[in-house]
Amino acid sequence: MSNKVVMNADVSHGKIDKNIYGHFAEHLGRCIYEGLWVGEDSPIPNTNGIRNDVLQALKDLNIPVLRWPGGCFADEYHWKDGIGPREQRKRMVNTHWGGVIENNHFGTHEFLMLCDMLDTEPYINGNVGSGTVQEMSEWVEYMTFDGESPMANWRKENGREEPWKVKYFGVGNENWGCGGNMRPQYYADLYRRFQTYVRNYGDNKIFKIAGGPNVDDYHWTEVLMREARHLMDGLSLHYYVHPGGFMNKGDAVRFDQQEWKISMQKAVFIEELIEKHSTIMDKYDPEKRIALIIDEWGAWYDVEPGTNPGFLYQQNTVRDAVIAGVSLNIFNNHNDRVRMANIAQMVNVIQAMVLTDEDKMLLTPTYHVFRMYKVHQDAERIDLSLDSKMLEVDGKQHPQVSASASKAEDGTIHVSLCNLDNDNQADIDFELRGTDFTNVSGEIITSEKMNDHNTFENPDKVAPTNFTGFVKEGSKLKVTLPAMSVVVLTIK
Ligand code: AHR
């Protein structure tokens, strides 16, 4: 059976917010230290302490927004430890992630400098779990107040005259868990209190993000929306794909066909989460003013053998490319409510873009998908309906194909397609209405074996190539997606 896609290029469903292509960098394992920050005196080539190879790779993704400093780390982070002369900064223990020494060399100034270098919006996550209202309030004052005040003066003493623009601010992280083990009513009250003192200074208007539910905790969403909706701009949602479950998550590379299928099924589940949480949000916010911010998502496996279990370092195969493609298609297709997403995490942690080993760096299959999909950033989502063949695992069904489409300002159409099937190609009868197209080209990422991945010895084993698996028949295309593939078509 063929899959069927009908696209109406003249029917728009609003903008796909570029922030769906956002990232997350936590003080965890080798994400910040080694992965991004090597320090100015490092033999690894760097610009103001940020390693050049990683910086260039990330620049090529057009990263719109970057969340920092956590994650669970955020609710143990005290920002005042991370400013001033580096050699005088407090050393602390990163209790949550591996019990290693955190020397605070990467702090507020370094993070905001990195955002400038990447031309990305900072998204700062504040500390509710172990912090105070005053500490949070003073952080915002330190970064954004233009004028005479204790915090602004301190910032100037530390070498930064002008305030920064900080648009996105998270009031706590996973406050149902590592962020304080709170119940929703209690967190809703704390949220109301803390956010009161997250001030807008001058023309810096902060978009406030409340800590949202864990996976399918719909009660949390209900309580937060009922009690605090008028004081938030976004509500977060966290969801990770763990093929083996939370305790034994499964191996990132050494997995079998059954684990592939379960991974796909779990990846697709995020659509149900978005729809059900959105239904609750719709009840309280029918105008969809409040964004659903999926500020942690990705495939999270067991760590690579022999690495620190607290560092969450994992490899990345063609399976991760497909999981990324499917997830981004789902976010694109829910652009009315999903207006930011931040994959976990940027470098060396969970489903990373980039892996490093001392002075070496490689791009993961997930990186390539983000590079291929960047064409959707801020483009108009166009109408697309998909009738997919269904696959089955453990008595549950999921589609073989995933798709989304957008139109750029110059009229170019981009369609992203994934084949979730590890065994069979996917044939698609693709009807394109509302456009007189003459030219089609494409890019594909796939591989022969499902466990294929990039290593420092063979960094381009899984990399994009030219895609030619389509035939134009009038206003239709016949597309053949190889097993386990992600394709982006450019249609003019
Ligand atoms: O991304 C790793 C961790 O996952 C984050 O610190 C936490 O918020 C989540 O549980």
The C-alpha angle with vertex 49 and arms to 44 and 54, in degrees rounded to 5, equals: 60
CB of 184 within 6 A of ligand 1: the answer is no
Residue 389's pLDDT band (boundaries 50, 70, 90)?
A: very high
Give the chain's mean pLDDT.
97
Q: How confident is the model at residue 2 (pLDDT cuts 50, 70, 90)?
A: confident
| pLDDT tens digits, 174-199 | 999 999 999 999 999 999 999 999 99
Residue 75 Cβ < 6 Å to ligand 1:
no
CA distance 292 to 55: 29
Cα of 178 from ligand 1 centre, angstroms? 8
Q: Whose CA is nearest to atom 9 of ligand 1?
A: 71
Which of 23, 26, 236 to mutate for ligand 1's pocket (most ligand atoms within 8 Å of CB)?
A: 26
User: What does the alpha-carbon distance between residue 419 and residue 317 come to, in Å, rounded to a whole number?
Assistant: 15
> Does residue 292 contact residue 342 with C-beta atoms inside 8 Å?
no
Name the residue of 30, 73, 236, 238 to mutate for ligand 1: max ligand atoms within 8 A of Cβ. 238
pLDDT > 80? residue 317: yes
pLDDT band at 1 (very low <50, low <70, confident <90, very high): confident
| Ligand 1 and 94: CB distance under 6 A | no
Alpha carbons within 13 angstroms on the beta-carbon side of residue 246 total: 3
Pairing of strands 380-387, 401-407: antiparallel
> What per-residue confidence (pLDDT) applies to 337?
98
174 touches ligand 1 (CB under 6 Å): yes
Q: How many helices (DSSP H) and strands (DSSP E) are in the chain?
A: 9, 26
Q: What is the mean pLDDT of residues 70-89?
A: 97
Whether residue 173 has its Cβ less than 6 Å from ligand 1:
yes
Which ligand 1 atom is at minimum distance from the Cα of 97? 6
pTM over 0.95: yes
Q: To the nearest whole percent, how much of the chain has pLDDT over 70?
A: 100
Whether the predicted pLDDT of 149 surpasses 90: yes
Q: What is the mean pLDDT of residues 120-132?
A: 98
| pLDDT higher than 90, residue 200 | yes
Q: Report the nearest atom of ligand 1 relative to the CA of 296.
A: 1
Q: What is the pLDDT of residue 196?
A: 98
Average pLDDT over residues 48-55: 98
Decide whether any atom of ligand 1 lies within 6 Å of the 299 Cβ: no
In whole angstroms, give the CA distance from residue 194 to residue 137. 8
pLDDT per residue as tens digits for the range 402-423: 999 999 999 999 999 999 999 9
Average pLDDT (139-148) is 97
Average pLDDT over residues 326-354: 98
Nearest CA owner, ligand 1 atom 6: 71
Name the residue at shortest CA distance from atom 4 of ligand 1.
71
Task: Find the helix or strand (DSSP H, E) in which 366 lies.
Answer: helix 365-373
* Catalytic member of 26, 102, 138, 296: 296
The residue-averaged pLDDT of 290-303 equals 98
Dump pLDDT digits (tens) for 227-258. 999 999 999 999 999 999 888 899 999 999 99
Nearest CA to ligand 1 atom 5: 71
Q: Is 296 a catalytic residue?
A: yes
Residue 265: pLDDT over 90: yes
174 is catalytic: yes
Determine the Cα–Cα distance for residues 215 and 209; give it in Å rounded to an integer: 17
Percent of the chain predicted with pLDDT > 90: 98
- CA–CA dist 40, 46 (Å, integer): 7
Contact 279, 341 (CB under 8 A): no
Q: What is the mean pLDDT of residues 321-335?
A: 98
Interval 2-21 mean pLDDT: 97
Whether the predicted pLDDT of 448 surpasses 80:
yes
What's the pLDDT at 245?
Answer: 86
Residue minimizing CA distance to atom 8 of ligand 1: 71
Q: What's the CA-to-centroid distance between 252 and ligand 1, angstroms?
A: 18
Integer Cα distance of 294 and 298 in angstroms: 10
User: What's the distance, Cα to Cα, between the start and end of the chain in Å?
Assistant: 28
- Residue tagged active-site, from 121, 141, 174, 380: 174
pLDDT at 87: 95
Q: How far is ligand 1, taken at its centre, from the CA of residue 86, in Å?
A: 27
Q: How far away, in angstroms, is 380 Cα from ligand 1 center?
A: 32
Nearest CA to ligand 1 atom 3: 71
